[in-house]
Amino acid sequence: MWADPRLNRSLTRRGWVPEISAGVFLSGKVEFDRLSDNIGDSAIRWERRISRLLLSINNVCHRQTWSAPDDTAETRGIGQMSSSHTVPQSDAPEGRLLAEPRFELMPFDSMEDQLSHLPDGATIAITTSPSLGLDTTVEWSVRAAEQGYNVVPHLAARYVKDDGQLDEILTQLTDAGITDIFIPGGDREEPAGEFESSYELLTAMDRLGHEFEEVGITGYPEGHDFISDETLAAVMDKKAPHATYITTQLCYNPGAIVDWIETIRDRGVELPVEVGIPGVMKYQKLLKISRKVGVGDSIRFLQKTAGITGFIRQFIRSRGKYNPDELVEGLSPYYNDPEYKLRGLHVYSFNRVPDTESWRMDRLEDWAELTEPRDHGLSG
């Protein structure tokens, strides 16, 4: 059993009986304490040391034997969910927020398998891949729409060559019955053609006479690595009249998201917000993605959420995987609030839908049970 009694109680509540030496936790705690004492090291070197430690702990955990009761997720067949599964209904704020999220998918070979783990008619956002280009995004968008999914193609401006290609793409999407489109700028260093920004593409859509019921633009709660906050604000103010909602960049901090929404409301931007959250994934993958997409310092995130010792406990308790429980709980009070207009979640799945959807279904079941009317056996 674990050296920390609170961790034992938490694991027991979740039905897990860890058959592992307490030395794993203790050695991890000692190493993290040593790292925190040397906080003066450069952030990059410190982060690499944490990553190596996580890998070591993860390997140890996977070598140990874990026993779980028959009704745990392991024996229910995590990852074996079909697209026809029923979504539990809950009146809890968290349940309403998680009921119908958007799932962001990348148009890779695994797309078909990813779709098979989602509910029928789920809303999916399909990204533009730097290596595959726009054609693959359009092809998958049309295929998914034909299968009955609500599709939101990402049409990255810097990947579109000219008005002719734009007109052709928008016509294909309209003919497929797609009514919602998301317009990011795109991370391509040199534009493929005449569009350098999402604003230019939005105005071109108007010029060509293409109208969609929903048009999304990007928001940056934690700012942008290469664009000043002032420039981001000015660009959003220009794009807002051409859009119907905002989807935020990946962010782990509910307080930062709420503060950012308040800031844009003070500027007069009243568009509804779809908050971008990470799905379930291994912590090491999370760190790698955080560095790649530039959404704030990964080390600072770890320190803020739980502290060093708290994080190692969280890492072991979750068997090396991150889940967005605290993020959802922190955002739920603002769901459908008329001032904040937080209308839903945009889940960055990174094509790891089975784990994320299993987590979502488990949480919805938990919240449905909490809000069920209780029969106290009273009679009149």
**pLDDT one-digit tens code per residue, 111-138:** 999 999 999 999 999 999 988 999 999 9
Residue 176: pLDDT over 80: yes
Phi–psi pair at 252, nearest 5 degrees: -105, -5
Residue 11: pLDDT over 80: no
Question: 45 is written with which tokens?
Answer: 């070197």
Classify domain 92-280+331-370 by CATH number. 3.20.20.220
* Alpha carbons 163 and 251: distance in angstroms, whole number: 34
* Alpha carbons 342 and 334: distance in angstroms, whole number: 6
* Alpha carbons 35 and 51: distance in angstroms, whole number: 12
* Alpha carbons 41 and 35: distance in angstroms, whole number: 9
pLDDT of residue 84: 54
* Alpha carbons 121 and 108: distance in angstroms, whole number: 20
| Cβ density class 5-16: b for 16+ within 10 Å, e for less | eebeeebeeeeb
Report in angstroms the alpha-carbon separations of 305 from 325, 329, 346, 370.
12, 14, 21, 26
Phi–psi pair at 51, nearest 5 degrees: -60, -40
Whether the Cβ atoms of residue 2 and residue 8 lie closer than 8 Å to each other: yes
Domain with CATH 3.20.20.220 in the chain: 92-280+331-370
pLDDT of residue 9: 40
Whose CA is closest to 289, among 336, 253, 258, 251?
251
pLDDT of residue 64: 42
Strand 342-348 vs strand 102-105: parallel, antiparallel, or unpaired? parallel
Strand 273-278 vs strand 245-248: parallel, antiparallel, or unpaired? parallel
Q: What is the pTM of this model?
A: 0.73
Name the residue type at position 210: H
% of the chain with per-residue pLDDT over 70: 64
Residue 347: pLDDT over 70: yes
pLDDT of residue 317: 53
Whether the Cβ atoms of residue 219 and residue 260 lie closer than 8 Å to each other: yes
* Alpha carbons 301 and 251: distance in angstroms, whole number: 10
Q: What is the per-residue pLDDT across 209-242, written as a single tens digit (0 to 9) for each?
A: 999 999 999 999 988 878 899 999 999 999 999 9
SS3 of 34, please? helix
Whether the Cβ atoms of residue 208 and residue 170 lie closer than 8 Å to each other: yes
* Alpha carbons 181 and 333: distance in angstroms, whole number: 28
What lies within 8 Å, CB to CB, of 2 at 6+ separation is 8, 11, 18, 22, 25, 316
Q: What is the per-residue pLDDT across 282-305, written as a single tens digit (0 to 9) for each?
A: 877 766 666 655 544 434 554 555
pLDDT band at 332 (very low <50, low <70, confident <90, very high): very high
